[in-house]
Amino acid sequence: MPPRFGIWALVSGATGSLFHPDDPPDASWDRNCRLVQQAEALGFESTLVAQHLFHVRDDELGQLETWTACAALAAVTEHIEIIAAIKPALFHPAVLAKMATQIEEISHGRFAINFVNAWFKPEFERAGIPFAEHDQRYAYGAEWLRVVRDLMAGETVHFSGRHFTLNGMKLRPAGRFRARPLIYAGGESEPARALAAERADVWFLNGQSLDNIAALIAGARARPRSGAPLAFAMSAFVIARNTDEEAAAAHVAALALARQDAPLLQRTLAAADPANVMFKPLGGGEAPQVGTNGGTDAGLVGSYDTVAARIRDFWAAGVELFMLQFQPFEAEMARFATEVRPRLAHLLAQA
């Protein structure tokens, strides 16, 4: 499979800094609608719509609602894959599976879910929804995902578990375009790895070094699994310029902006579940980074040729989908499509 590329929808209004002079936070539906349509026109194959009920850094800022937005995106796009994140504790699995099969229908078979097990405690505390301990959340999530998966596949589900009981439930329409919507799963703790290997189609990794990614993929491939092999996706923040020097200077400028976000970020990290294997989703890795979910840690920073060569290496290690962040988003996304992708195509044709 050739590599595919996606964009993070701007559910929180910006990736990178909230203080970028040319890219102030705007999480409106209108902006996201235009952004995803532009991405589709530029040849991006996928978009990831993350899920939070309110902005994780500043609850005065706007936040796009994931599932209603995905249904609308399905209706106003034609080719692009639409991946909706879902935290299992927020929806009963039967209700969620029904929503998923409906968006699969609206999109004519382009819908997917990204199972994320939640880390942002205030969201649950303020809504009064119980926030179980980390591994208990995964036990709940594993049961939840089993029910959702079978219902999305159109099966008649009889299930009696610790958390859910289903008595012969079946959803229609289902399976009109393919067997079911795809299941992605994010998270790097041991239960997250087990869940991805057992029940997901694609394991979504945070951006990190090629060595780390290769080791994570090798570990996942060694796990017991039935059905088609697990596929791999990775998040990354891209800074691509004419030369490595120009990209390095742009990276320094982005890091300086990121420092303005530091107090807000620290507040968010302090409120997060400390049991999470990574605070990386928000930039709490060892090295300073720009963007979320590993951000620039994946090293997609450099000249157009450098970035294309790094992507080729990740792809050779097993990453099939690259979910990208940029800032300012629209302009840098267009630059990636016109400058990096042709160079990558050239590299892959030579191999």
Ligand X SMILES: Cc1cc2nc3c(=O)[nH]c(=O)nc-3n(C[C@H](O)[C@H](O)[C@H](O)COP(=O)(O)O)c2cc1C
Query: Rule CB under 6 A: is residue 281 a binding residue for ligand X?
Result: yes
Query: Rule CB under 6 A: is residue 186 a binding residue for ligand X?
Result: yes
Query: Nearest approach, Cβ of 102 to ligand X (angstroms)?
Result: 20
Q: Which residues pair with 185 in a beta bridge?
A: 115, 203
Which residue from 80, 82, 103, 116 is in contact with ligand X, where contact means CB under 6 A? 116
Contacts with ligand X, 330-349, as mask; x by CB under 6 A: --------------------
Q: Please state, in angstroms and rounded to a whole number, the distance separating the CA atoms of residues 292 and 295.
A: 5
Element (H, E) at 333: helix 329-335
Q: What share of the chain is helix, strand, coil (3-state, %, to 5)?
A: 45, 15, 40
The answer to whether residues 77 and 37 touch, using CB atoms and an 8 Å cutoff, is: yes
Query: Rule CB under 6 A: is residue 235 a binding residue for ligand X?
Result: yes
Query: Rule CB under 6 A: is residue 285 a binding residue for ligand X?
Result: no
Angle at 91 between CA 85 and CA 92, to 5 degrees: 130
The tokens describing 309, both together, are: 């060569």
Q: Which of residues 36-75 bind ligand X (CB under 6 A)?
A: 50-52
Total binding residues toward ligand X, as defined by CB under 6 A:
24
How far lies 130's CA from each of 146, 269, 271, 314, in Å?
21, 20, 15, 38
The tokens describing 171, both together, are: 């959803």
In SS3 terms, 84-127 reads as EEECHHHCCHHHHHHHHHHHHHHCCCCEEEEECCCCCHHHHHHH
Closer of 83 and 247 to ligand X (Cβ): 83
Query: Nearest approach, Cβ of 314 to ligand X (angstroms)?
Result: 14
Closer of 117 and 303 to ligand X (Cβ): 117
Stretch that binds ligand X, among 19-27, 150-158, 182-190, 301-309 (CB under 6 A): 182-190
Query: Rule CB under 6 A: is residue 212 a binding residue for ligand X?
Result: no
Tell me the residue number closest to ligand X, measured at CB. Answer: 186
Which residue from 77, 107, 117, 268 is in contact with ligand X, where contact means CB under 6 A? 117
List interacting residues with ligand X (CB under 6 A).
Answer: 50-52, 85, 87, 114, 116-120, 186-189, 192, 204, 206, 235, 276-278, 281, 293
